[in-house]
């Protein structure tokens, strides 16, 4: 992709990098512990097809929770909102992404929203396909279309590392299965889910996917309406209410754009009609968001008046 290195963006990246040592890389998925703490890169893909970048934007990372927005879009296209929201709610939780508590205390078995792990696992269980390979293949094809990049793949090492260690996610699956939220085999859902989280791309790809949401589902390069407008709207709304874990409220006040983060340190954000932004900074704050990524967005939002509110 033709993306120009930009001095102004580089300045903000250098400023934001100063906070990387206040965070930590995720280590509960063993393969993620190998990421280097002081990395920070950003790409901004404008809806007119121009692109600017700063830092090592070719470096690949896994999507982790960012994939939750994309699997949600696919499943909403496949089944429609009514069916999907029968199984997963639409309310923020205020709890950490992998919390199990509200599964038991509120509306037993039905997760509160699709951006927390419990909700995302339900969404993954709804991806259409005969086999696990068909399901992950369909999601991957959809993501390749969004990034307009055929070379995006699943990182086998990260997928395997999470599959072998992800016991809390399994526990949530069994709890939901007990309550009839899904019928699928837990190990099959975990197989597809861990591969979905391990889909790997770089900040440029992520910025481009953000720009598709900025244009309400229409691809700025190909002109194709990949996500129907009403579904893109639902996804963006979840990004605002639940996209930055249990820091989403503060993020909405301080930065004010739809965004979704993942524990590998990625953030996908967008400014409606203007651009998508992809950030990679693996050092995380205590809520699980890229610490320097948030700082960078704070600087950009203040300097370019990005808040939608």
**Interface residues with ligand GLU (CB under 6 A)?**
64-65, 97-98, 117, 162, 169, 197, 262-263, 288
Q: Is 117 annotated as a binding residue?
A: yes
SS3 97: coil
Q: Which residue among 68, 102, 195, 236 is the active-site one?
A: 68
Burial classification of residue 88, based on how many CB atoms lie within 10 Å of its CB (0-12 exposed, 13-18 middle, 19 or more buried):
buried
Distances (CA, A) of 304 to 99, 214, 243, 266, 307: 35, 16, 21, 21, 9
**C-alpha distances in Å from residue 131, one per residue of 7, 189, 271:** 47, 11, 37
The nearest distance, CB 83 to ligand GLU, in angstroms, is 24
CB of 263 to ligand GLU, least distance (A): 4
CB atoms within 10 A of CB 223: 8
Q: Is 87 in the active site?
A: no
Question: Would you say 64 or 211 has its CB closer to ligand GLU?
Answer: 64
- For the bound state, the minimum distance from the C-beta of residue 116 to ligand GLU, rounded and expressed in Å, comes to 9
Give the active site residue among 41, 53, 65, 71.
Answer: 65
Catalytic annotation present for 193: yes
Nearer to ligand GLU, 20 or 117 (CB): 117
Rounded to a whole number of angstroms, the minimum distance from the CB of residue 152 to ligand GLU is: 17
Residue 263 annotated as catalytic: yes
- Contact present, 105 and 155 (Cβ < 8 Å): no
The answer on whether 162 is annotated among ligand-binding residues is yes
Catalytic residue among 13, 75, 189, 263: 263
Q: Establish whether 148 is an annotated binding residue.
A: no
Cβ closer to ligand GLU: 76 or 284?
284
19 is known as an active-site residue: no
Burial 178-210 (b: 16+ CB within 10 A, else e): eeebbebebeebbbbbbbbbbbbbbbbbbbbbb
**Residue 48 contacts by C-beta under 8 Å, 6 or more apart in sequence?**
220
Check whether 45 is labelled as a binding-site residue. no
Which structure tokens are listed for 104?
């038991």
The DSSP H or E segment spanning 61 is strand 61-62
Residue 282 near residue 36, CB atoms below 8 Å: yes
Whether 68 is a known active-site residue: answer: yes
User: What are the residue ranges of helices labelled H in 26-106?
Assistant: 67-79, 81-87, 101-105
Tell me whether residue 2 is annotated as binding: no
Residue 295 structure tokens: 């700082």
State in angstroms the smallest separation of the CB of 219 from ligand GLU: 25
Q: Binding site annotation covers 69?
A: no
Give 298's contacts (C-beta < 8 A, 6+ positions apart).
254, 255
Residue 297 CB, nearest distance to ligand GLU (Å)?
Answer: 17
The structure tokens 């005969």 sit at 130
Residue 65, annotated as binding a ligand: yes
Residue whose tokens read 């934007």: 57
Residue list, annotated binding site: 65, 117, 162, 169, 193, 245, 263
* Binding site members for substrate: 65, 117, 162, 169, 193, 245, 263
Q: Which residues are catalytic?
A: 65, 68, 193, 245, 263
């Amino acid at each position: 992709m033709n993306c120009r290195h930009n001095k102004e963006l580089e300045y903000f990246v250098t400023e934001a990098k100063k906070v990387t040592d206040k965070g930590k890389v995720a280590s509960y998925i063993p393969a993620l512990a190998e990421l280097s703490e002081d990395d920070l890169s950003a790409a901004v893909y404008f809806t007119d097809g121009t692109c600017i970048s700063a830092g090592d934007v070719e470096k690949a990372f896994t999507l982790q929770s960012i994939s939750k927005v994309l699997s949600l879009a696919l499943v909403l296209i496949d089944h429609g909102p009514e069916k999907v929201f029968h199984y997963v709610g639409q309310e923020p939780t205020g709890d950490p992404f992998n919390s199990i508590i509200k599964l038991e205390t509120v509306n037993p078995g039905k997760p509160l929203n699709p951006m927390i792990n419990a909700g995302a696992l339900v969404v993954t269980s709804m991806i259409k396909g005969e086999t696990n390979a068909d399901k992950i293949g369909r999601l991957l094809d959809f993501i390749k279309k969004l990034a307009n990049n055929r070379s995006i793949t699943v990182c086998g090492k990260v997928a395997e590392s999470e599959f072998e260690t992800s016991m809390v996610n399994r526990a949530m699956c069994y709890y939901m299965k007990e309550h009839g939220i899904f019928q699928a085999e837990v190990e099959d859902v975990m197989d597809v889910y861990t591969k979905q989280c391990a889909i790997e791309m770089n900040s440029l790809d992520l910025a481009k996917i953000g720009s598709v949401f900025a244009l309400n589902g229409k691809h700025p390069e190909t002109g194709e309406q990949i996500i129907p407008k009403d579904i893109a709207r639902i996804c963006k709304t979840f990004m605002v209410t639940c996209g930055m874990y249990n820091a989403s409220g503060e993020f909405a006040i301080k930065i004010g754009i739809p965004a979704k983060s993942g524990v590998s340190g990625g953030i996908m954000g967008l400014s409606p009609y203007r651009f998508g932004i992809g950030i990679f900074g693996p050092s995380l704050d205590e809520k699980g968001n890229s610490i320097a990524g948030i700082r960078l967005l704070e600087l950009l939002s203040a300097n370019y008046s990005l808040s939608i509110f």
